[in-house]
Structure 1
Amino acid sequence: MIQKLKHKLDQKKIVSVRSLAKQYGISKSSAHRILKEDLELHVYKKKIEPRLTDEHKHKRKQFGNWVGHNFRKEDTMRILFSGEKMFDVDGIYNTQNECIWTGSRAEANDRGGIKMKQKFPQKVMLWLGVCSKGMTSLAIFDQGTVDHTEYIQNILPVALKYGNNTFGDHWTFQQDSAKAHIHHLIQK
């Protein structure tokens, strides 16, 4: 049975313990024990990672170095970080149900252990600002993406009010380089 399960795992990337047990007519606990103890495998769930280019990685590293060289430690505690997150309306990926039994994370990744997401599914956007003292109120955008007009009307007042109430006059508002953020009216 150990060899049969090992052969099945070599053929198929993603297999549940329940389906193995059913296919070979053994209990679920027996299949689990074979995988864990006899084959010395561990279960790894698929990870979801953003598709980052080498340019994205380079810019992130550059920004980290810039902050390290241009801000004193006490100034870094007075930064309000801003970010948006898209949530897919179409469906939910259930990490609990898709597991890969292998000997290491690297092998799990090679055998399909990374789930790629489409970049532009139907979605809703949420915005939040966070800092060392807490977080702003949440802004919700049902239309998905946000243009510079909506950003100026709905997000900047929230960030300004929170930053001034939390830090007074001396603080930094940090946003990423999303298209709406780099518009000349927002920069002004």
Structure 2
Amino acid sequence: MIDTIGSIDLTYSTGRPRIVRTPGAIEKVKNRADAGGRVSIRKLARDLRISRTSIHRILKKDLKYNAYKKKVQPFLTDAHKAKRKAFANWVRINFRKEKTMRILFSDEKDFDIDGVYNLQSDRVWAPSRAIANEKGGIVEKRKFPQKVMVWLGACSNGISSLVIFEEGTVDHARYIKEMLPVALKYGNKVFDND
């Protein structure tokens, strides 16, 4: 071989020729994957009459594609983006560091008394279902669990006291009646207002 072509590289593959993962099949899979939208390996395999494992190999090995979960994000129009940008510029112009140190950030959260269980990641390893049940494989959950809403404020000087709304629904009147006095008291104490 060195005498004829001057190289020790083979001019052809010595292994079994590819029957399914041909350049044409790879191109078909690439076109379907690049077309946009959701692409199922099973549906591709059925439509192209290629096995699922071959489709998977084409996507992973030949095309170097990875499967990604879709992300959820807020729907923002151009008007929303323009308003946000205008507000950010207004804050930059009108607020100095001293003023930003006096901002109280607050949030509220509903807590379920039963707790939250992720059935996808919370597993019990056991040889049988009966033994798994004995080891805590059953999670009991009420149909209408009791919920508690909690409010908390934070600023550059610390954290406010917790406000817990235990019973009933929290509408704007109750929110103002029970939460606002706590926020005002905390703000006056922290920022030395009389």
Q: TM-score with structure 1 length normalisation? A: 0.46
Query: Higher relative CO (CA 8 A, sep ≥ 6), structure 1 or 2?
Result: 1
Q: TM-score with structure 2 length normalisation? A: 0.45
Which has the larger share of strand? 1
Bigger radius of gyration among the two: 2
